[in-house]
Structures are given as C-alpha cells and as structure tokens.
Structure 1
C-alpha cells in the first residue's frame, strides 16, 4: 500500500470530525480502492478459507451497505445498479433477505472485479448527490452514513488480513507491499515491566458523546480489583520459549476445547509461522520474512493466548481492567502503530518510553482479554436491520481490545470491543499479560 503524502491526508480526513461528513465519506470510499490497488483482479476474486472473504466481495459489500440502508430508503428515485447484487453481497442481515453462503464467496467469479468497480462508482455518484445538501439530511440518515464509514473501515482491515491469508496459501509467497524498512531480525524484546493499577468501582463503556457501536453502551460501573499489567504485548521471542518448553504438547496448559483445536488443526506455532533450516520465518504482507523476536506475537487464538498465560504463571486481563488501564495511562493519545504508519506489521515496543507507561495499547495487535463477549447491563440492540450489527453475536465469542497494525487510523478507541470466536487467529491477534496485585 503506498504511503504517499496524499494517502496520509486521505486517511486523516476520514477520522477528522472537523471536516464535513461528505468529505469523510468520500475519503473512506477512496481508501478502500487504494488498498485494493496493489492486487490483480485474480487476487481479488479468491478466498483462502471460510472465515475470509475476497477483496472484490469487501469492495462490493461495503457498497451494498450504503445502497441497502441509505439510498434505497432515503434517496427518492434512486435506481439500483443491479437487483441481483442484493443476494450476492448481503453478509448476515436476515431482515434483508437470502444471501450467498459466506464459505462460497470465492466462487463468485461474476460479477467481475471491473463490474464491482463500476458498482462502486454508481453508488458513490448517488451518495455524493445525496450529500450535496448535507445540511438538510435527516439525523437518522447522517447516523447511517457515519455507521457506513465505520463499517467500511472494519472491512478495510479485513481486506488486508484476508489477502494475507490468501497470499500465505500461495506457493510463490507474494508480497502485498515490498518491505522497504530494515527488520530487526536479531533484536530482543525489552524486559517486561509490571504497571500497578488501583482497584475500585470504575466507569467503563462509551459516554455517548460521539460515534460508538451499540455494544460499547451503556456506560456503567464495574468493580475492578487491584491488578498489574505488563507494559507491552507478549513478544515472538517469549512465544518461542513457550514452544521450546513444550507449550503445544502439554495438555495441562489448555482448556479442553483449546486442546481439541490444537489436535484437530495440528497447531505447533502461531499462524503464518514456518520453521526453516535458517530459523523461524513468518508470512506477512511483505511476504515471507525472518521472524522478528522483539515484535509482538500475532495470529494466535484465544485458546493459545490463554495457554501461554497459564504457562507464564499469569492470566489475561479482563476487558474492564484493560479499559481502566488504557484510560488511566491516556493510551489513546500515545503514538500508535496502525494503518497510517504504513508498516503493515506489528513492531517492537519502544525502548525510550517512560518506565511507567503502558505501550502498544492502541496498535500493533488486537489484544485478547479473558472476557466473554456479552451485553452490558441495560443493553438494547437498535431497532430494525441495524440491530443485527452486533447484538446477535453476543454468544460464544471473546473480547479483544485496542487496535492492530492494519486498523484504519481513528477507527478504534479505548471503549471499542472487537470480538471473535476462540479458535480464530487469522487476524492480527496478540496478548498482554496481567496478574493480581
């Protein structure tokens, strides 16, 4: 992905609430095309596994979202690009009708990537027409546009993680972006420092004063006992110690379902790791590169994170401990390695940061917590189809906090609740250790 000044300005406009909603919408739509530009049309058609989706599908689905929820309902006279796309590019909205099975999205050779680009242009032209008189838009339309921008940012991250899963399955090990920076292949992670946090009754959740997803609400009190948090995420070098000490062959470290996942999937290391005659290497968006020992471990499941914490004699933080620590340390205003940095990979914690600062909380890797993904007290899903966005998934998943190296700038926040099933690991998922004080 190019990191030109123009691209940086584009990404900044999306998260800058001082510019108009229409400008932010336009910038977000352009960024998706920018992210897809290094890919061939063939790259954009295939999915490597059931959890991932083709790039072409991401570009079309985010377009369908605006067509289905904004243009069809709030722009009189709008003519859909193709009624057939309603079936092809709906994701999981039952109220919007039947849809193509997720696991078979890679079979959609039609419409072509070029037709999907024409679809985006058709919808974007209508959206810009709608936004030409932004001041007269009803509040509910503006809210849908804001949701659409954030929805597209989620798919921009998925676009990159899904293309990584595809390229990792290719024998040529292609690079999405050439690696121009020198990797610290022989560097070592700094020694873990433990930061103490006081307990008490603490407010958590979004305050409702700006955009948030419904699963971040309502703000409420939680009892938090005194705890300590590692100043950085667990590193690759520490994970190597876990492997060498038999972490993947010791059933006593694992939850029952986790041990079953190890055996059925043949896990012996994090996702995208490969052991070669020259040492461990890792498939990245820069291709297959030497493993950086100091960088945060990534592409590990909740089961692996939990097993590592047991092996280390620690535990995963609860999502409320994580949020309280992030608020206390002003994590949102610390430098973050997210999409705008252009690195496209987790990077080592800074050796120059103050000794009492918690690092990497809003970038590098999403951090597994020990918390199940459940509704907050008093939570009610929004009415209508938008209510399917989060609420119906509040079962059998776990919460991750923070952001990753491919999270669009300004998309995440301290109260953001990401969630995945405990066996999934194709995202930039890592962990930070905690212990009781």
Structure 2
C-alpha cells in the first residue's frame, strides 16, 4: 500500500481508545498529504499566485482547510477560543465561484507562508488534543463532537484533490518535481471503444444514518427510479477518441454546444482540453508538474460542457443518440461491475487513493466485469444536477455544504479519480461541480432512453429557508407590517449620510433591497449561504420561489418577483456575502449605517461583535439593533448571554442595560421602540414576537 493511502474511518466498533487512535492516524495522514502536495510549489512566492482568475491565490487554500476545523469547532461550541481570528476570517469562504465568494485581491492582506505553516501546526496540535479527549461513544453519530472532527478531515481530503487540480494549472516554471509523486510511465495505442448492455431495473439511491461510514448531508435520504435497459461504453473516453472531435473542428462548430457551452468557449477561448498543450503542431499532455508526450490511451480530462459537446458530435457522426450517464444509470453500472462499498474492495483494483500513481493511466488497465474504470482514474461527468433526496437534512455544522449547489448548475461527478481518497471513494458519495470547472474528470457515454428531469428548486424543499422567505417576502398577517420593510424605514430615518449600509444577519435579503431605496450601496451579510442565496437569486434571476407550509407535509408554492417588490431600479446597489458577525473580514468597513436585525441573541459571542462594531462605522454612523432577546443555549452559551438572567447578587440583568454598558463608551443611544413581527409556521400556527429596536449613534 502507498504511504499516502489510508482507509476511511468506520463509525462503529467496540473499543473507544482504538477508535481514537484510528481517527488520529487518519487525521495526521490527511494533514500530511495536504501539506505534502503544496511542496510542488517551487517557492513561497508562488503561494501568492492564482492558477486561474476565478480562484484565490494558493495561500488561501493552504490556510483554508485548517481554519475550517476551528470555525466548525467554534460553531458547534466544542471549543471556546479561536487560534487566530484574522486567519479564521480571511481563509474562511471562497472556493466555488459563488456570487458571495470574494476573490477581490484588494480585500485581503495575505500573511506570510511561514505564518500559515505555524498556524497549521497549532491547529494540528489542537485537533490532536481533541481527538484524544473529546467524549466518545460508539457508533459515532451526527450529533457526536467527533463527527465535526471527521467533517474537518473529510473536508481536507476534498481539498487535497481540488488543490492538485489548481497546481496542475499553474505555469510549469512555478512548480518542482516531488519524488514521491510518481506519474504513470506507460502508454500505447488506445483501445477501440465499444458498447456493453446493462439491464434496467429499480434503483434506490441514498443511505440512512445507521451507515457505518462518514457521509455528507446530500448522501442521506432516499430516491428511487426505474431505469430501462441501456448501453454504456466499455472504456472512458480516451485522449485518442477525443482527438477525433478536436481535429474535426468540434470546438469551432457551434451546433455541438449549448448556450452555456458557447459562453464557456467565448470566455475561455478553448480549442482543446485544458491539459493539452499544442507544441509544434502536436499535442502534448500536462501532468501534475511536467509535460509529457500525449498518452493516447489515458482518459481525456474535460469539463462537463466539453463532454456534452462530444456526445452531440458522436451522435451526429454515428446516427445514434449518446449522452452522459445519469446518477441512477451509473449505480446500475456500479452493480454490474460487482463493486461494493469501501472498505470491501481494495485500491489494487483501481487507480484511486494514490495507490498506484499521481496521474491517470491507460483506460484498459483496471477492469470490472468487462467495464473499465468504473471507479478511479478520472471522475466521470453525469447529466444529473445534484439535488437533495427525500428526507434530506442539512447538518448544523455545515449547512451550506450542499444546498448552494442545488441550483441546476452543478453536475454530479461519479466514480472517483486517481487523487480521490476518504469519503470520495465510497459508494454513496455525491460531489458536484459547475459544468465549466476543470477537475480530474473525464467521461464515458451511454445510449439510453432516460430523460433527466429533476425538480430542483431548493427553496421549495428547504423548510427553514422557505419559512424565512415567507417572513420576509410573504403576506402580512394579523395587521402586523412587514418587519424587514419597517426596519429599513427606521434605518433610513436616522441615518444622516446615505452612501453605504450593512445589513448584518440579512437572512434572505429583503431588508437589504429595502435599504437600497435610500442608500447608494448596501451589503447584506449572513452566516448561512442558504439564506443569502435567496437574495442572490432574486437579484440575478429576478425571482425566488418557495413553499409556504400549510399543514403537515402540505405546502403552498409561492413565487415573488423583483418587479413585484419594486426593486428593479435598486438591485445593482446590493451585494450579498457570507460572513461571521463575530469575525468579519477587515474589508467590511466604512459604513454610514449598520443594521443587525434579530441577530444579537443568536451570536455565539455577542460581546465580541459589540466590542469592535464601531471600527466598521464612519464618524457619526448609526448602529441599529433589533432583538426579541430570546436567549437560548443552543445559540449562545449561557455565560455569554447579555441578559435574561440573575447575577450573583440576585439582581435581574436586562439585555438593554448590558448594551448600554458595552456600547455607551463609543455610542450614544438616541432611540428605543418596540416593533412587532409575525413568523408563519403553518396556516394555523404563527409566532408573534416583539423586538426592541435600539438606535445608536457613534460618538
């Protein structure tokens, strides 16, 4: 076994101390591999370069996986103190080309690489300590503190692979050869592809929470589909097979590309796959850290748009309709191959988990009952957009892992690659990327009668987000006016300057749009990408659809347009960002007004936020806080509450008094009022609350 290979941790067992040691070994192995792959960067200066414009410099990714551990452990209240608040802010968000991924280099002052190395060392020590000391009962379940540790490990496993893709896109002069990263050295003529019959049948996808291997939220639940008999290619599409498409002018012929594909071509100028290099009229192949002669029998590396274009080309050429496989069809291929879940089969049978190579290898090297590379070598693009199964639930430690990708823009990749390990090589794993993204991904094709129709509006299936959509965009109830609109009116009344405002804890963004009626620029920030995705969709797509719960499993579907809200003229004034109110990035500053609605009693450390919020306001800027003061330990540890308890002398402590104590040195309290709001739970159940609005002017 390669020293880089290690099986994923199982969740069951009878010996807790042995399980701790298993997790420790897995954690250190993951940390070691991640740091090892950054040795391919020739110097520390290279860490500050981008491999492509839509990504951060390499130093971001080097710090990101370590800060993930700390941020999630803080969020789940497993630890109380940060290691480096600045790092845990600037390295927190920005990896998937989302609207709220801030890749503007002027917003960051990246630390020295040695400082990040030292930080990673401290995180390693802290997590190691937790693994040996956290309460542990077996099996490990999703509410166990150790689950959050495993989440951090599996998250870093993902970034091992995605970072290798980014390194592979860096100029060769910025890279060096690492002795342990052995590239496959054999190649020959590519085999001729052929089609294999796969019997149809009933497919049930998903797993339940008793499964003995770690899983991401999108893997749980159930989805069933009946699949007709279909044909699948014996091999992954090789460089040689794809070469026909390139030489026949496939990249220039628009009939093979859909609208998204044409946009990709226009922006990228692509004439061939990203890891092909044209030299002297011949194509060569970009491996991790060097150029090699084109290995014609290796799988081609392409994005989903290129794979789809090839299928249209081949369909026209052969007079047969080819497509990418669906997720359910791939499961039947998996079962035909006789594969079972990790760890029931070994890497020796496939090119994955770094067991054989740090590269692809010939498409006819690893066979499974007559089909090759069912798993391993390169990921395989599917025609299925990722979606949530019936029973899908987000995990509170990472509520935006999956839901932002339930947008019909992220296609599932299937089967794993040479650089996949951990959860990524498991039977039930589900990963998806935007169709134009380069990955260690290729494809195989099918002849199928299937037609993928996934109803995939997450805001209609995400109950909490839908509830907030109803609260902010729904009908008024019991004569109580829309809370977001009324808060924005208060803000506009008191602010002297109307240049720039911050809607902190913006949720689904209604107040952000309302503030833009009177401010030139408004930024909406929320901890949850699930929430800000609504505002982004409303701004970009012009509408948001959601389901307003009526009774039991019944719900009324609603749709609100930006025209109905009267916000078309102001939409370009708003932007949305994901952020932690207790640890905001330094570029969020220079506001005339900051409005934090119903936020203060939901922060894990509200005093931390209040102690520094003045630094983000202009002189004589205004801070507006609203809250019903419903303190609860699920959000804020009791020792950090600002009110709602008796002190040691038995005196009642009220939140407003603590706010006066904290803010009084830097702010003047200029206004207090009550403001009602109503949140609908069902057609016959509502929450009727009264928030206290306090308006503070910076001295």
The question of a shared fold, defined as TM-score above 0.5 by the shorter chain, is answered with yes
- Pairwise mapping of residues 305-344 of structure 1 onto structure 2 (< 5 A)? 305-313=307-315, 314-331=322-339, 333=345, 335-341=349-355, 343-344=357-358
- Pairwise mapping of residues 2-41 of structure 1 onto structure 2 (< 5 A)? 8-9=2-3, 11-12=5-6, 20-39=22-41, 40-41=43-44
SS of the residue 1:321 aligns to: helix
Could you list the per-position Cα deviations for residues 61-96 of structure 1 after superposition, in whole angstroms to 9, with x for gaps in the alignment? 1111111111575455x5422221232111159xxx
Corresponding residue number in structure 1 for 2:306? 304
Kept in 2: contact 1:49–1:103 (CA 8 A):
no
Kept in 1: contact 2:411–2:435 (CA 8 A):
yes
Could you list the per-position Cα deviations for residues 349-399 of structure 1 after superposition, in whole angstroms to 9, with x for gaps in the alignment? 235847x422212211111111122222332323x3511111122112211
- Pairwise mapping of residues 57-76 of structure 1 onto structure 2 (< 5 A)? 57-70=60-73, 73-75=76-78
Kept in 2: contact 1:89–1:100 (CA 8 A):
no
Corresponding residue number in structure 2 for 1:363? 376
CA distance in 2, matches of 1:16, 1:55: 32
SS of the residue 2:196 aligns to: strand
Could you list the per-position Cα deviations for residues 239-275 of structure 1 after superposition, in whole angstroms to 9, with x for gaps in the alignment? 1111122211222222122123223322110002122
SS of the residue 2:298 aligns to: coil
CA distance in 2, matches of 1:352, 1:33: 29
Kept in 1: contact 2:416–2:425 (CA 8 A):
yes
Q: Does 1:423 align with 2:427?
A: no
- Pairwise mapping of residues 209-288 of structure 1 onto structure 2 (< 5 A)? 209=211, 210-277=213-280, 279-288=282-291
Q: 1:80 to 1:58 in 2, by over 3 A?
A: same
Quote how far apart the aligned CAs of 1:342 are.
5.0
Corresponding residue number in structure 2 for 1:346? 360
Q: Does 1:157 align with 2:161?
A: yes
Number of corresponding residues: 417
Q: Could you say which structure has the larger radius of gyration?
A: 2
Kept in 2: contact 1:195–1:231 (CA 8 A):
yes
Q: 1:222 to 1:100 in 2, by over 3 A?
A: closer
CA distance in 2, matches of 1:174, 1:59: 16
Q: Does 1:121 align with 2:121?
A: yes
Kept in 2: contact 1:230–1:432 (CA 8 A):
yes
Could you list the per-position Cα deviations for residues 179-228 of structure 1 after superposition, in whole angstroms to 9, with x for gaps in the alignment? 8667345x112122322221122212234402111112213321111111
Quote how far apart the aligned CAs of 1:128 are.
1.7
CA distance in 1, matches of 2:195, 2:112: 52
- Tell me how large the CA RMSD over aligned residues is: 2.9
Instruction: Structure 2: state its 5+ residue gaps.
Output: 12-18, 316-321, 450-699
Q: 1:265 to 1:92 in 2, by over 3 A?
A: closer
SS of the residue 1:37 aligns to: helix
CA distance in 2, matches of 1:352, 1:126: 41
SS of the residue 1:222 aligns to: strand
Kept in 1: contact 2:177–2:289 (CA 8 A):
yes
CA distance in 2, matches of 1:239, 1:84: 47
Corresponding residue number in structure 1 for 2:411? 398
Q: Does 1:389 align with 2:401?
A: yes
Q: 1:249 to 1:110 in 2, by over 3 A?
A: closer
CA distance in 2, matches of 1:100, 1:79: 27
CA distance in 1, matches of 2:73, 2:432: 26
Could you list the per-position Cα deviations for residues 298-338 of structure 1 after superposition, in whole angstroms to 9, with x for gaps in the alignment? 0x121111110111122111111012211331345362212
Quote how far apart the aligned CAs of 1:156 are.
0.8
CA distance in 2, matches of 1:248, 1:304: 8
Kept in 2: contact 1:50–1:102 (CA 8 A):
no
Q: Runs (4+) of structure 1 moved beyond 6 Å?
A: none
Q: 1:105 to 1:288 in 2, by over 3 A?
A: farther
Corresponding residue number in structure 1 for 2:507? none
What is the TM-score of this pair, normalised by structure 1?
Answer: 0.86
Could you list the per-position Cα deviations for residues 18-62 of structure 1 after superposition, in whole angstroms to 9, with x for gaps in the alignment? 752233222222222222234322222322224434443223111
SS of the residue 1:43 aligns to: helix
CA distance in 1, matches of 2:7, 2:44: 28
Deviates more, 1:173-182 or 1:38-47: 173-182
Corresponding residue number in structure 2 for 1:144? 148
CA distance in 1, matches of 2:183, 2:325: 33
Q: 1:27 to 1:74 in 2, by over 3 A?
A: farther
